[in-house]
Amino acid sequence: MNLKKQFKEGLLTQNPVLVQVLGMCSTMAITTSFFNGLGMGVAVLVILTLSNVIISAIRKIVPDKIRIAMFIVVIAGFVTCVDLLIQAFLPDLAKSLGVFIPLIVVNCIILGRAESFSYKNGVAASFFDGIFQGIGYTVVLLAMCIIRELLGAGTFGGGLLGPDLKGIQILPAQFPAKMLTLPVGGFLVLACLIAAMQWALSKSKK
Amino acid sequence: MSNEVKTKEKVDMDPKYIIKLTVTLFVTCVVVAGLLGLVNSVTAGRIEQINIENTNKALTAVFEGASAPEFPEMEIADDLKAAAASAGATLQNVYEAKDGGETIGHALKIVASGSQGNIEMIVGVDGEGAVTGVSIVKNSETAGIGSKVMENENGVLDQFIGKSAADSPLTVGKNVDAISGATVSSRGVTTGVNAALAVAGVMG
């Protein structure tokens, strides 16, 4: 087990969004305000860690042929739990994330890590893999939220201070390009981030 | 990932193996279902309470003048449903609006389609059949565009107050002002209000 390597992989060299290009749907759909990004990131982090631990714990007794079905049952179970808990205790977050919480079931990051990591590694390593990959995902979400919110709506930290409150206005209201908070803006911002990441990675390799 | 092409595994039809697969999957499902039941028993009450609170908030908002509002739910007759459907929306619930025990009108929960999905709204109608208020319960309109209508920007929802069957059908651009760029969302709300007026007409 090499924590430092795993951490670097989760955040940079194997970043789930920018390098593995997984979980695109939620990444583009919900990164319109800081609160959404944080909530989604933490929800994925928790589910990913739990499912990683369970899958790695049961990996020896799971027959190879039905492993995907088993993974999905485990993942769907955790996602539903988290969904119910968010609805009960964080209703504002549930309202703004809506269907994207249940959709974490089909988020490729979680199934991808189950198949490529926790099915082959020990419980502790899988636990940290879940945490680090989750952090990698959250950081990218937050970066996208900050960029899209600042340039698209001119605010920062939307939803953090209160459910219906807009963030702090930084750019005067007439400057922001509304387009960036729409789906097309998601594609553009994500593309720029991936390009920057690839550039940085190839530069550091040299 | 290896570049070798794996030889296709022979399908193992050994009954013991198949039983093992079935039992493993079955046990996992039972365990997960048990866990879900546990979480549900903790959260179900709270979720229901939050939903009731949200509905109550929306109900109170459309009868702002009432000092001691109460909203007992009523059964929906088929002709009311038909009236809403003919106006292009779905009637979900009907609440009687009472202020200190006296009936002051009805609150109708109506679902109409917006630009990105359904808009769920509560429309209050008083005893004379005039709209007392519109409040949005649930929507998925585009943030920053359609959401302006949902958030009542420039009083776009308040303009329905006082409208009655005499103004019907309400039409965006004719007797209803839309938010520019959010015509479809504005139309969705207007459809809902038209349906409410139609239902109120049937109720008399």
With cut-offs at 50, 70 and 90, classify the pLDDT of residue B7. low
Which of A36, A46, A22 minimizes the C-alpha distance to A141? A36
Residue A88: list chain B partners with CB under 8 A. 42-43, 46-47, 50
What's the confidence (pLDDT) of residue B168? 74
Query: What confidence score (pLDDT) does residue A164 get?
Result: 55
**Residue among A65, A84, A91 whose CB faces B21 most closely:** A65
Do B56 and B71 touch, CB atoms closer than 8 A? yes
Out of B20, B43, B143, the one facing A84 most closely (by C-beta) is B43
| Minimum-distance CB partner of A62 among B24, B40, B44 | B24
Give the distance from residue B71's alpha carbon to the nearest chain A alpha carbon, in angstroms: 23
B17 CB neighbours in chain A (<8 A) are 63
* Most confident residue range from A110-119, B67-76, B99-108: A110-119
Residue spans of chain A under pLDDT 70: 1, 158-167
Residue B6: which residues within 8 A CB-CB, separation 6 or more?
none
Token pair 């040299």 is found at A206
Q: How far apart are CA A190 and CA A201, in angstroms?
A: 16
Q: Which of B198, B178, B180, B197 is nearest to B188 (CA)?
A: B178
For residue A179, give the chain B residue with the closest CA: B144
pLDDT tens for A116-162 read: 999 999 999 999 999 999 999 999 999 999 998 888 888 887 666 55
Mean pLDDT to the nearest integer, B32-56: 90
pLDDT at B193: 92
Per-residue pLDDT at A94? 84
The closest of B197, B195, B202, B200 to B85, measured between CA atoms, is B195
Per-residue pLDDT at B165: 84
Cβ neighbors of B86 (< 8 A, separation 6 or more) are: B198
Average pLDDT along chain B: 85
Which residues of chain A lie closer than 8 angstroms to B50, CB-CB? 87-88, 91
Helix (H, G, I), strand (E, B) or coil at B16: helix
**Which chain B residues have a beta carbon less than 8 Å from that of A178?**
144-145
Distance between CA atoms of residues B31 and B25, nearest Å: 10
Whether A85 and B43 have beta carbons less than 8 Å apart is answered as yes
Residues in chain A closer than 8 A to B143 (CB atoms): 32, 181
Domains of chain A, residue spans:
3-205
Q: For a pLDDT cut of 70, what percent of chain B falls above it?
A: 93
Cβ neighbours of A73 in B, within 8 Å: 25, 28-29, 32
Closest chain A CA to residue B151 = A164
Please state, in angstroms and rounded to a whole number, the distance separating the CA atoms of residues B193 and B188: 9
Q: Is the sign of the CA dihedral A4, A8, A13, A19 positive or negative?
A: positive
Interface test with B, best of A65, A95, A182 (most B CBs within 10 A): A65
Check residue A175 and report its DSSP letter. S
Residue B125 pairs in a beta bridge with: B106, B131
Amino acid at A147: I
Is B16 within 8 Å of chain A by CB?
no
What is the H or E stretch that residue B120 is in? Answer: strand B118-126
Digit-coded pLDDT (tens) for B116-175: 889 999 999 988 888 999 998 888 787 667 888 888 888 888 899 988 888 878 888 888
Looking at this predicted complex, what is its ipTM? 0.76
> What pLDDT score was predicted for residue B3?
54
Which residue of chain A has the CA closest to B51? A91
Q: Which residue has the higher pLDDT, B111 or A93?
A: B111
Q: What is the pTM of this model?
A: 0.78
pLDDT of residue B122: 92
**Looking at residue A99, what is its pLDDT?**
79
- pLDDT number for residue B6: 57
Task: Give the nearest partner residue to A73 out of B29, B39, B145, using CB atoms.
Answer: B29
Give me the amino acid identity at A135.
Answer: I
At B1 the pLDDT is 47
Please give, rounded to a whole number of angstroms, the shortest distance from the CA of B39 to a CA of chain A.
6
